Amino acid sequence: MVRARFRAKVLIYLFIYLFYFDSANLSKTNFYGIAPGGTRQKLDDTVRYACISGYKRKDGVTWATCTRDGWEPNPLCQEIPPCGIPPALEDGDTKTAIKEHYSHNETIEYMCQSYYIMEGEPYKTCLYGEWTGHMRCLRPCIVNEDEMRQHNITLKSSGTKYLVHDEIIEFRCTRGLSTGTVAMRQRCNSGVLVLPTCRE
Ligand SMILES: *[C@@H]1O[C@H](CO)[C@@H](O)[C@H](O)[C@H]1NC(C)=O
Ligand SMILES: *[C@@H]1O[C@H](CO)[C@@H](O)[C@H](O)[C@H]1NC(C)=O
């Protein structure tokens, strides 16, 4: 029993020693070596390495080489810049409260105000210090009574006067016949609704 505990302790110390030894060998602490495991590196030795979270290797580099001047490439790991406050979305907002700093790969979800329709994916991602991802909120259309009266039209069936983007609405003449230049069925296009006209 005592012996087993002692053995476990030795193993833990050995592990800590090897880990510390390796890290110390590879100078800084923002990366770790993967292979070949646990031995001291000699001149011209190469070791596969990775960077700790928040740091990245130089593009395309996966191996570090021990040279007279230390490890190459130098620095082995570069800090990945964080992102600042995410950009505002017109007629929309973020789903969660925003922070001042975001780390690499962090995403934030957006949503549009009611009656607005989102175009694009609702996410922006912090990549290497820049916000990526694009979306916009498409406006609804509001059917105006006065304008309809001026065009001698009304709604074909009683319904809502709020249309979301891409929703279809149908009109009918209150006097005369359609001039035929604009169809009686119209689609709301991001806040724009074209009205047909009727005349006697
Ligand atoms: C970022 O996220 C992608 C997928 O979620 C993952 O494959 C990649 O390793 C991540 N990059 C970093 C540097 O964390
Ligand atoms: C509405 O109808 C009246 C009567 O036919 C006509 O005088 C008027 O020009 C029409 N309105 C429009 C915008 O064409």
Give me the pLDDT at residue 18, please.
Answer: 40
65 ligand 2 Cβ < 6 A:
no
Tell me the two tokens of residue 174.
């209150």
Residue 101 and residue 85 in contact, taking contact as beta carbons nearer than 8 Å: no
Provide the residue type at 28 as one letter.
K
pLDDT digits (tens, 9 = 90+) for 151-171: 999 999 877 789 999 999 999
Report the topology of domain 92-138. Answer: Complement Module; domain 1 (2.10.70)
Query: Tens place of pLDDT for every residue, the chain, 200 residues?
Result: 445 554 444 333 333 334 444 444 444 566 676 545 455 667 888 888 888 888 888 888 888 888 888 888 888 888 889 999 999 999 999 999 999 999 999 999 999 999 999 999 999 999 999 999 999 999 999 999 999 999 999 999 877 789 999 999 999 999 999 998 999 999 999 999 999 999 99
pTM for the whole thing?
A: 0.67
Picking from 124, 113, 118, 199, the residue whose alpha carbon sits closest to that of residue 165 is: 118
Structure tokens given for 43: 């001149």
Between the CA of residue 28 and those of 18, 70, 72, 124, what are the distances in Å?
Answer: 15, 11, 12, 33
- Residue 161 has a pLDDT of 85
Cβ–Cβ < 8 Å for 35, 60: no
Regarding the beta carbon of 78 and ligand 1, being less than 6 Å apart is answered no
Identify the nearest ligand to the CA of 77 by its number: 1
Check if the beta carbon of residue 108 is closer than 8 Å to that of residue 87: no
141-199 architecture in CATH?
Answer: Ribbon (2.10)
Which of 138, 174, 125 is CA-nearest to residue 154? 174
Confirm if 173 and 166 have CB atoms less than 8 A apart: no
| CATH class assigned to 2-79 | mainly beta
Q: How does DSSP classify residue 133?
A: -
Instruction: Give the sheet arrangement for strand 185-187, strand by strand.
Output: 153-155, 168-173, 185-187
C-beta 124 within 6 A of ligand 2: no
Q: Which residue of 62, 105, 123, 126 sits with most ligand 1 atoms within 8 Å of its CB, as the best mutation to test the pocket?
A: 105
Q: Where are the CATH 2.10.70.10 domain residues in the chain?
A: 92-138, 141-199
